[in-house]
Chains A and B, each alone.
Chain A
């Protein structure tokens, strides 16, 4: 089974609107971490936001927030007030366990296009 599932290959959003990128994960570990990365066309993977499995509050970083629903095993990324520079690939990732980046899994990504 896939560890990380991103069901939206591509998304369009109007500039200044909010957008939600979906991510579901599969693990039997009690301790894990969830990450979102942004990859512009240049190739660099840019870390956006992190949510630990024991964190009770949803993580927020500026215009990014992570809608963490543990029972549903979902970790959706919400981008508020979209900007043209947000157009990129977005990857959801999970680290199983607390201590080991050897078990670090990426989804297939969602390509976000922000329209002016």
Chain B
């Protein structure tokens, strides 16, 4: 059982809908991440939060809006998406941004289809 839980696992939404992806980590980590995985493309880092503060926004369109209310929870709010936004969205966490030996632990991902 993964220490990072994502819901929903599958989501189909229309281009005018508003939906949210939720991520919760049970590992006591301080940093959380959103990644996008599209077909035939490497994973793309979208957002990084460290101690609830956003430290990275990797030129992500504003139709994706992250929210990190505390170190254990991370949301990705979705609004007026495009079909090309269909992808697997992976949440991840790590102990922090300052430990050389640690790694990132991923959730099972949320499969998003925009129709």
Query: Does A105 lie at the interface of the complex (its beta carbon under 8 Å from any beta carbon of B)?
Result: yes
Docked pose: A43 CA to B90 CA in angstroms: 8
When each residue 24-52 of chain B gets 1 if its CB lies under 8 Å from chain A and 0 otherwise, what string results? 00000001010000001111010010000
CB contacts (< 8 Å) of B64 on chain A: these are none
A45 contacts B42, C-beta separation under 8 Å: no
A31 contacts B100, C-beta separation under 8 Å: yes
Chain B, interface residues (CB within 8 Å), range: 20 to 34
Give A92-110 interface residues, CB cut-off 8 Å to B: 98-102, 104-109
CB contacts (< 8 Å) of A102 on chain B: these are 45, 48, 55-56, 97
A101 contacts B97, C-beta separation under 8 Å: yes
A101 contacts B33, C-beta separation under 8 Å: yes
A107 contacts B103, C-beta separation under 8 Å: no
Question: What are 24 residue pairs bridging A and B, where the CB atoms are less than 8 Å apart in the complex?
Answer: A4-B42, A31-B100, A33-B103, A35-B103, A42-B108, A43-B9, A43-B88, A43-B108, A44-B2, A44-B109, A45-B92, A47-B105, A50-B103, A52-B101, A91-B43, A99-B98, A100-B97, A101-B33, A101-B97, A102-B55, A104-B45, A106-B42, A106-B43, A108-B41
Docked pose: A42 CA to B106 CA in angstroms: 12
